[in-house]
Amino acid sequence: MRIGAALLLAVAATATLGAQAPAPVRRCLGQDAIVTVPAGTVLLGEDGAERPGQAVRVAAFRIDAHEVTNRQFAAFVAATGHRTRAEGEGASALFVAPTEAVSLDDASRWWRWTKGADWRHPMGPGSDLTGRADEPVVHVDRDDAAAYARWVGGALPTTAQWERAARGNQNATRDPVEWAFDHGKPRANVWEGVFPIRDTAEDGYAGIAPVGCFEPNDLALYDMVGNVWEWVAGEGDVGLVKGGSYLCAMNYCANFRPAAYQAQEHDLPTSHIGFRVAYPVAAPGASLSMPIGRSLSGSVTATNIGG
């Protein structure tokens, strides 16, 4: 694609975000990036001293430095006309904090199947993407995520790739809490306070944060833990999401660690699940072409949902 056409696409993508071009309240990263993860061994499933994991060799691959954003997804929609499942069905699962104490055994007390909730309206009817351009896109099911990944020339990461990226150069067991907290100080966007009543936003955010607002891991990857769950590759009706979300709290779920996973119906979009894309490593001498919208966009049922 020629530069002029790509610029028109980037402008069109911005226009789809809302009536006005959104100006994020805080943009933590200056541009998008794709990071090469070298071949290495991952301690797959490691979850503390009592669960040392299994050493698995993973070939080199590339992966998005952060979750796919609303801005990036808008470029995809502008180019392809893709319509998400939530848009087609006219509803999606939306987290709504209860106003009184509820049993943590009944997730239906904080999840609502909400008409009008979709990626363009992440908080339901009446909301839009103004100020949310650099937040992770949500209300996308696995098929939506895979469609975007194909468009940019990649695929959803496998579970092994995802954990290799999340763990970085880890070579020993680690206290599971340390992935999200450094001596009690949040290092990821998770729920502080008593879930699901009140998030104190000690980490700076009550709800989803723009991508890249927390320190990257040693592979220069952001938000591998917390913020939003992330789809990984799969074929069956029940898929997997990894990494936990802003709804994970010490008193509920505590899935803010690489070992964590959650079974998720492949066709169930929610307000706390997003994704990122993995790519093959080019052969020596091969030309790497940046997919449409990527190089320029950087500049320009409730019981099964969990936390």
- Contact call for residues 60 and 37 (beta carbons, < 8 A): yes
Residue 170 tokens read as 């880890």
**C-alpha–C-alpha distance, residues 59 and 21, integer Å:** 40
Query: Which of the 8 DSSP states describes residue 228?
Result: S
CA 170 to centroid of chain Cα atoms: 22
* Placement of tokens 């220069």 in the chain: 220
Task: Give domain limits for the chain.
Answer: 3-304
Note the pLDDT of residue 306.
59
**C-alpha–C-alpha distance, residues 173 and 50, integer Å:** 9
Residue in 13, 123, 32 with CA at minimum distance from that of residue 73: 13
Residue 224 tokens read as 């591998």
- Contact call for residues 166 and 225 (beta carbons, < 8 A): yes
Q: Which CATH class is domain 3-304?
A: alpha beta
- Contact call for residues 28 and 17 (beta carbons, < 8 A): no
- Contact call for residues 303 and 107 (beta carbons, < 8 A): yes
- Characterize the bridge pairing of strands 278-279 and 61-64: antiparallel
Instruction: Identify the bridge partners of residue 113 per DSSP, sorted by sequence position.
Output: 93
Note the pLDDT of residue 254.
87
Residue in 277, 240, 288, 289 with CA at minimum distance from that of residue 149: 277
Report the largest interatomic distance among the alpha carbons of the chain, rounded to a whole angstrom.
Answer: 61
One-letter identity of residue 276: R
Which value, in Å, is the radius of gyration of the alpha carbons in the chain? Answer: 18
Note the pLDDT of residue 39.
97
Note the pLDDT of residue 17.
54
- Contact call for residues 134 and 24 (beta carbons, < 8 A): yes
Burial zone of 256 (CB within 10 Å; 0-12 exposed, 13-18 middle, 19+ buried):
buried
Which residue ranges in the chain fall short of pLDDT 50? 1-16, 18-24, 285-304
* Placement of tokens 């908080």 in the chain: 123
Note the pLDDT of residue 26.
59
Note the pLDDT of residue 179.
87
- Contact call for residues 21 and 14 (beta carbons, < 8 A): yes
